């Protein structure tokens, strides 16, 4: 889950009154935040992926203030009018590469300006958003610029690389676009996202100065915000407009919570002009008490609902009997009525919901196959076979032993060679277990009942999951005859009239393996493991095995609830 080290001082500075770390931790248990270790002033917090706003100090303080009753309501309004002349043009040429663009203009409160603390907070939050919502800048990325030192309108376009002269952020030397894309570490990492052949994305101002090469890097001077700045342009580019708006919505938070005003930035694009208010406007919902009661199981009046929504730091008021809700731009997780219901539940506190037992109109039951399997386990235990639990994923080496009727499927992306194939038989895993017991006393007997995966051309996945039951024995004198004797016992137990047929199982001694078929289907197969495998594994005594296709048996002889007879 996303996490970030946040400054406790800055959190407390954003609260109406400071709180202790203990109170902070206890309060956060009611939220989607998991506080972790503290190092100095920094407390690492982890949040659920839908609440990235809580990974900013201002965002976390806002949540805490609501839960502690120190503040309520959305507390957000934007300036409907753009700053004079501050607008942008989006060239049609960007569409195939990174076709979405939006921006806002931020204005510091009177007597205020960007300070070093806010600058650090914003830069850290920006990188976090790039890594999460931005999907490492592939889906979207943000840029912040010193609006006072720029000349609008701005132009987002695709330009020939040869025309570019660029002074990268944190550099003192201007470079050609070509050299920048060939040498700069960020260009090597993100360059492909902003480049199409010899064309690259640019953001320029009216004086034709490059502000940035999206989504790679800002320019020095024109793309560098500093303490003391009063006006900041925030823009986002991406492949989907929803993601671009999400990014800007999140980035509003640290500024708006410190009293900055947000102005829309109109964007003139190939499909017309957007006035920029859609980025800043709170989204509106109505919430019915009946819906809340239906989902949460508590009856809440419209007034109570409103109180909880205000605690959740949303806008809420009752009009004409309905609760009207406003959601700020940094809460893109709230998409439908059910999301608001959860906000009500969190604000009320999960601890205040009295758990009640649901009426039980159904009768519980194990599946029929599970009841058959319980019988098989009992039979195995009665024959003194120890139950084992071995991994479904086996190594390529074990897959190569055979001891199966079908080849195991391979994984495309195994983590290690030890777990590279999906077993089609339980026997290799059980033989491997015997190999780990060579220092234990003999005789050794083990069984497993579990799933195997087999190819099946008729299934949509091309596979089917069957259940097998396998016995293995390693002992002096063990061999095919032992396995055959087990098969006789099983056939008798399940009342099956069938005999053993010669059948070569890979990985067994030739002529010492067999199968039993019933109604044309293989139900049992058995054999004596080839000494080549046993030598390789240093197993000291011969090994016999038997496999029963539990799924097939259940099909042929469904388990009966009647008491079995002799």
Partner 1 sequence: MPSPPGSEPLGLSLSGLEREILQVLRGASPGSPLGEDDLLGRVRSPPDAVRGGLQRLRAKGWLLLEETSREHWVLTERGREALAQGLPERRLLRLLEGGPRPLEEIRGEGFDPEALTVALGQLKRKGLLVPGRSLTLAGSPPATLEEEQALSRVERGEPPGADEVRATLVRRGLIAAERTVGRRWALSPQGAALPLEGAGPEGVGALTSQHLLKDRWSALSFRPYDVRAPVPFVGGARYHPYLEWLRQVEEVLVGLGFEEYRGPLVEQEFYNMDLLFMPQEHPARSLQDMLAVAGLEGGKIPGPLLRSVAAVHEGRPPPRQRSALSPGWQTPYEESVARHVVLRSQTTAATGRYLASHPRPPFRMYSVDLVFRRDAVDAQHHLQFHQAEGVMGRRGLTFRHLLGLLEQFTHALGIPEVRFQPTYFPFTEPSVQGMVRHPTLGWIEALPGGMFRPEVLRPLGVKVPTAAWGIGIGRLALVALGLNDIRELFLDDLPRLSQWRL
Region 319-348 residues binding partner 1, contact defined as CB under 8 A: 333, 335-339, 341-342, 345-346
Quick count: other Cβ atoms within 10 Å of Cβ 161?
18
Which residue stretch of 93-101, 211-219, 273-281, 411-419 sits at the interface with partner 1 (rule: CB under 8 A)?
Answer: 411-419
Which member of 120, 174, 275, 384 binds partner 1 (CB under 8 A)?
384
Please state the closest distance from residue 54 (CB atom) to partner 1, in A: 11
Residue 358 interacting with partner 1 (CB under 8 A): yes
Q: Minimum Å distance from CB 365 to partner 1?
A: 5
x-or-dash string of contact with partner 1, 47-76, rule CB under 8 A? -xxxx-------------------------
Q: Which of the stretches 76-84, 267-275, 315-323, 446-454 binds partner 1 when contact is defined by CB under 8 A?
A: 446-454
Beta strands in 164-303 (DSSP E): 165-166, 175-176, 195-196, 199-204, 210-213, 217-218, 231-238, 261-264, 267-269, 272-274, 283-287
DSSP state of 168: B
Smallest distance, Å, CB 554 to partner 1? Answer: 12
Pick the closer one to partner 1 by CB: 151 or 465: 465
Exactly one of 413, 497, 535, 561 binds partner 1 (CB under 8 A); that residue is 413
85 near partner 1, judged by CB under 8 A: no
- Determine how many CB atoms are found less than 10 A away from the CB of residue 286: 13
| 362 cis-preceded (ω within 30 degrees of 0) | no
CA-nearest of 282, 525, 301, 289 to 426 is: 525
| Residues 450-479 close enough to bind partner 1 by CB under 8 A | 451, 453, 459-465
Does position 356 interact with partner 1 (CB under 8 A)? The reply is yes
Binders of partner 1 among 390-409, rule CB under 8 A?
390-393, 409
Q: Which residue has the tokens 């799924």?
A: 551
Cβ neighbours of residue 47 under 8 Å, at least 6 residues apart? Answer: 1, 2, 3, 32, 33, 34, 54, 55
Please state, in angstroms and rounded to a whole number, the distance separating the CA atoms of residues 134 and 216. Answer: 13
Q: Distance between CA 31 and CA 465 in Å, rounded? A: 40
- Considering only residues 103 to 142 of the shown chain, the ones binding partner 1 according to CB under 8 A are 135, 139
Distance CA 482, CA 544 (A): 7
Rounded Cα distance, 9 and 219, in Å: 32
- For partner 1, the closer of residues 109 and 297 by Cβ is 297
When asked if residue 370 is in the footprint of partner 1 (CB under 8 A), the reply is: yes
For residue 369, state whether it binds partner 1 (rule: CB under 8 A): yes
Contact with partner 1 (CB under 8 A): which of 20, 290, 362, 497?
Answer: 362
CB of 248 to partner 1, least distance (A): 16
300 is a site residue for partner 1 (CB under 8 A): no
CB of 460 to partner 1, least distance (A): 4
Q: Using H for helix, E for strand and C for coil, what is the string for 470-538?
A: EEEEECCCCCHHHHHHHHHHHHHHCCCCCCEEECCCCCEEEEEEEEEEECCEEEEEEEEECHHHHHHHC
What the block records as the tokens of 328 is 């700020």
- Judged by CB under 8 A, the chain residues 533 through 562 that form the site for partner 1 are none
The yes or no reply on residue 224 touching partner 1 (CB under 8 A) is no
Nearest partner of 449 among 373, 556, 546, judged by Cα: 373
CA dist., res. 508 & res. 542, Å (int): 11
Q: Is 278 in the site for partner 1 (CB under 8 A)?
A: no
- Kindly determine how many residues on this chain lie close enough to bind partner 1 according to the rule CB under 8 A: 88
Residue 434 three-state SS: helix
- Residue 96 interacting with partner 1 (CB under 8 A): no
Considering only 85, 350, 497, 561, the residue that binds partner 1 (CB under 8 A) is 350
Applying CB under 8 A, among 8, 13, 296, 496 the residue interacting with partner 1 is 296
Using the rule CB under 8 A, is 23 a contact of partner 1?
Answer: no
**Residue 415 Cβ vs partner 1, minimum distance, rounded to whole Å:** 6
Which of 359, 520, 565, 566 touches partner 1 by CB under 8 A? Answer: 359
Its sign, for the CA torsion 10, 11, 17, 18, is: negative
Q: If binding is defined by CB under 8 A, does position 446 make contact with partner 1?
A: yes
CB 30 within 8 A of CB 79: no
Report phi then psi at 189, rounded to 5: -85, -40
Residue 298 touching partner 1 (CB under 8 A) = yes
**Shortest CB 328 distance to partner 1, Å:** 17
Per rule CB under 8 A, is residue 290 in the interface with partner 1? no
Residue 412 binding partner 1, by CB under 8 A = yes
Nearer to partner 1, 171 or 437 (CB): 437
Q: In angstroms, rounded to a whole number, what is the distance separating the alpha carbons of residues 148 and 230?
A: 7
């Amino acid at each position: 889950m996303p996490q970030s080290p946040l400054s406790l001082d800055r959190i407390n500075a954003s609260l109406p009154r400071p709180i202790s770390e203990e109170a902070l931790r206890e309060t956060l248990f009611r939220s989607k935040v998991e506080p972790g270790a503290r190092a100095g002033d920094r407390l690492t917090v982890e949040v659920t992926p839908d609440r990235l706003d809580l990974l900013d100090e201002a965002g976390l303080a806002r949540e805490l203030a609501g839960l502690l009753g120190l503040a309520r309501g959305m507390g957000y309004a934007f300036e409907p009018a753009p700053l004079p002349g501050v607008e942008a043009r989006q060239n049609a040429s960007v569409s195939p590469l990174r076709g979405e663009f939006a921006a806002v203009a931020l204005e510091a409160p009177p007597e205020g300006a960007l300070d070093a603390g806010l600058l650090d907070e914003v830069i850290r939050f920006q990188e976090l958003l790039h890594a999460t919502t931005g999907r490492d800048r592939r889906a979207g990325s943000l840029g912040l610029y010193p609006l006072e030192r720029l000349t609008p309108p701005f132009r987002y376009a695709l330009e020939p690389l040869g025309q570019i002269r660029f002074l990268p952020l944190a550099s003192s030397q201007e470079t050609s676009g070509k050299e920048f894309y060939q040498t700069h570490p960020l260009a090597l990492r993100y360059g492909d996202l902003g480049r199409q052949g010899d064309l690259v994305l640019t953001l320029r101002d009216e004086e034709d100065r490059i502000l940035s090469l999206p989504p790679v890097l800002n320019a020095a001077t024109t793309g560098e915000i500093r303490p003391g700045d009063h006006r900041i342009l925030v823009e986002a580019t991406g492949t989907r407009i929803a993601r671009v708006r999400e990014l800007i919505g999140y980035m509003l938070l640290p500024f708006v919570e410190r009293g900055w005003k947000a102005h829309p930035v109109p964007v003139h694009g190939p499909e017309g002009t957007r006035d920029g208010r859609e980025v800043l406007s709170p989204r509106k919902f109505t919430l019915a008490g009946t819906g809340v009661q239906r989902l949460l199981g508590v009856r809440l009046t419209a007034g109570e609902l409103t109180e909880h929504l205000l605690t959740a730091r949303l806008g809420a008021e009752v009009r004409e009997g309905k609760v009207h809700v406003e959601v700020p731009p940094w809460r893109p997780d709230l998409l439908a009525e059910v999301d608001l219901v959860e906000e009500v539940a969190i604000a009320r506190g999960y601890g205040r919901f009295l758990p009640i037992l649901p009426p039980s109109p159904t009768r519980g039951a194990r599946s029929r196959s599970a009841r058959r399997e319980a019988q098989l386990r009992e039979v195995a235990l009665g024959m003194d076979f120890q139950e084992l639990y071995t991994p479904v994923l086996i190594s390529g080496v074990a897959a190569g032993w055979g001891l199966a009727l079908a080849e195991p499927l391979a994984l495309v992306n195994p983590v290690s060679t030890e777990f590279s194939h999906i077993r089609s038989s339980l026997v290799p895993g059980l033989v491997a277990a015997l190999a780990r017991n060579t220092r234990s006393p003999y005789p050794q007997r083990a069984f497993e009942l579990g799933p195997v995966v087999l190819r099946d051309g008729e299934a949509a996945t091309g596979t089917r999951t069957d259940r097998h039951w396998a016995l293995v024995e390693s002992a002096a004198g063990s061999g095919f005859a032992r396995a055959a004797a087990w098969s006789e016992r099983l056939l008798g137990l399940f009342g099956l009239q069938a005999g053993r047929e010669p059948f070569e199982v890979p990985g067994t001694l030739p002529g010492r393996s067999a199968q039993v078929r019933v109604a044309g289907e293989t139900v049992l197969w058995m054999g004596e493991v080839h000494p080549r495998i046993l030598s390789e594994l240093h197993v000291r005594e011969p090994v016999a095995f038997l496999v029963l296709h539990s799924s097939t048996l259940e099909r042929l002889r469904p388990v009966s609830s009647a008491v079995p007879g002799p």
